[in-house]
Amino acid sequence: MKGTAKKQFLATIILVFVLQAFMLVYIFTSFYSSSEQDIKNLSESNTKSQATMIDNYLSKGSDVLWFAAESVDHMLGKGISSADLREYLVVTSARMKQQYDDNFTGIYGLLNGTYLDGAGWVPPNDFDPRTRDWYTEGKAAAGRMVMTHPYVDAQTGQIIISFTQLLSDGESVLSLDIVLDEVQKITEEMTMGDIGYGFIVDDTGLVIAHYDKNEIGKNYLDNTDMAGVVRAAKNNPGGSFPINIKGREATVFTEPIQGDWNVVIITDNDLLYRRVRTQLLVGIVVSLLIFAVIVFFCIFSLKKIARAEAREQESLHQLQSINMNIIRSLATTIDAKDRYTSGHSQRVADYSVRIAKKLGKSEDEQRVIFYAGLLHDVGKIRVSADVLNKPGRLTEEEFDQIRVHPASGYHILKDVNDDEDVGYGAKYHHERYDGTGYPNGLEGDSIPEVARIIAVADAYDAMASNRSYRKLLPQDVIREEIIRGKGSQFDPKVADAMIEIIDDDREYDLCQNDDDVKNILVIDDDKMVLSSVALIMEDIEYFRIMGAYNREEALEALKPGHISLIMLDLKMPDVDGFSLFTEIRETYDIPVIMMTGDKSEETVRKIRELGIDDYLTKPLNPAVTRETVHGILYRCDVE
């Protein structure tokens, strides 16, 4: 980038950044402050609405008592008998519970010196109504209806209040008890959209109702954390005020009801203003995105940088395309076709990368070498499976088929990527350093380096893997073979790198370590299915078929941890296949093939949704079954 262009670019970036910073400051100061006030106003309105609901509920009780008191006063003036008065109270109490609320437990009182109870309660012999709060407070009010101090019922644990009123004779007092269950229900809903909690407290600090029922009946003036809230609520009736509770900033919204009570809602400020802060964050992010877009177009205007980025992006996309669309499927197909070399392509790719690291190759070079190693045998697609899997000695004609697979692989791969090394790895990995290899008899450094690396990795894996005619060779024997091949079969530098790798591998981990055996657990209540799978797989010596006929046997078979694949029946008498799959996946990360004769859309969709690896339709097709099992067990690990 030239000096003038760089200065212009930097000046533009700085100017845009300053403008963005000014915008963010404006958003923070204006939007946040106004939104904060709006939230407070809305919260205060909500608190007042809740208080009004409770006030209206309590007022309904006072209205009921007032009407009853007027009627009883009139009846007393006419000299109605105590029996008739009791009957009136009983009828009125029943009608009141039916028409208004079950929490209005009944009307009672001391009338003409006799205690009468509309709820049917019979007092003990030593009961003296004149000592009760409802009587003393009612008489002291001199005809004005009053609400007694709340109390906790000793038997039920419920909070109860009484409305009480002195009648015109100056001695008779009529009262109504209300259980505050409805008030509690209203209080439990005072959450401000789940960002706070509410309670009701009287002037003595008694908790009358609370979002948490366990708090009912406590005295908050005795609580260190809540005493300040209660006192502040009494001193600030109606409105809101900030407070710190247990080290967290909070806002308290309060509203008085029935004179001496206060509705209190406490909200955590982090939750209360979360939406505003989220909106503010969105504004900041949008501003930064705008800034990023502007920067992008400034960079885009510099053609050289833009072209370089485009080339890098194109190369990246090409590599990703190989990775995602070709390499996995081709490499898996290669090993699936040749049953005697399962996992060979993956191991050759891994060994090739190890050699490349020893030779000091860059990460990009290592990636290309990895792909080339993974695909070096892709030409075997053109070779007959009968030839590849023939257990005995090949005829000359059959060996000619093997000799052409490098050329076939090259022509398959040459148009896949601009980097020719991927195709060269396939074409020349059977060339020998002394010029006696095939297909072209190249010699020395005329053999592309990627092919010289793969040749050593390929030979190493052939010796460090099991074959139909022998087991893998001891590590020291392989080492000697590679030393013997230096300068004749192998590039000496590549061979030396492989020898270093062998010397570092003291535990001989770099070998075919899958023990040649894959244990396949067939879970099906039909023994014929197990026999069918065993018959289909009988000619594949590295598959061992095991059976389980129910859920219990299946879970027991999984415990040793040596199962490589599960073939699971969808419908069994004791368990549904989907349920058993879910149970298995909670403990084991083992691939599962579902077996079912159910081809419905719902079943197929559920198989996909649960992430089941594959499914087979009953009756099992032998070719499809073998290919599905092999494909799952020998997937190439391409990154």
Q: How far is CA 461 from CA 343, 351, 373, in A?
A: 10, 8, 12
497 pLDDT band, cuts 50/70/90, is: very high
CA dihedral 327, 329, 334, 336 (to 10 degrees): 150
Q: Is the pLDDT of residue 639 over 50?
A: no
Would you tell me which CATH number, out of the four given (3.60.15.10, 3.40.190.10, 3.30.450.20, 3.40.50.300), belongs to the domain 35-291? Answer: 3.30.450.20
Exposed e or buried b for every residue in 218-246, given b needs 16+ CB within 10 A?
bebeeeeebebbbeebbeeeeebeebeee
Which of these, 50, 53, 52, 57, lies nearest to 163 by C-alpha position?
A: 57
For the stretch 304-342, pLDDT in tens is 655 666 677 776 666 666 554 566 666 666 666 565 556
Tokens 């023994």 belong to: 527
* Residue ranges of the chain assigned to CATH 1.10.3210.10: 309-504
What residue spans in the chain does CATH classification 3.40.50.2300 cover? Answer: 518-633
What backbone torsions phi and psi does residue 543 show, to the nearest 5 degrees?
A: -110, 130
pLDDT digits (tens, 9 = 90+) for 346-376: 889 999 999 999 999 999 899 889 988 988 8
- The percent of residues above 70 in pLDDT, for the chain, comes to 84
Beta bridge partners, 241, equal 252
Q: Does position 298 have pLDDT exceeding 80, yes or no?
A: no
d(CA 451, CA 427): 8
| The pLDDT value given to residue 638 | 46
In this prediction, residue 266 carries a pLDDT of 85
CA atoms in the 13 A half-sphere facing the CB of 60: 17
Q: 558: which 2 tokens?
A: 């999984």
Query: What is the CATH number assigned to the segment(s) 309-504?
Result: 1.10.3210.10
The structure's pTM equals: 0.46
Q: Is it the case that residue 1 has pLDDT exceeding 60? A: no
CB neighbourhood size of 325 (10 A): 11
Q: Where in the chain is the domain with CATH 3.30.450.20?
A: 35-291
Q: Which fold has domain 518-633?
A: Rossmann fold (3.40.50)
The two three-digit tokens of residue 313, written as one number: 């992006």
For the chain, the average pLDDT equals: 83
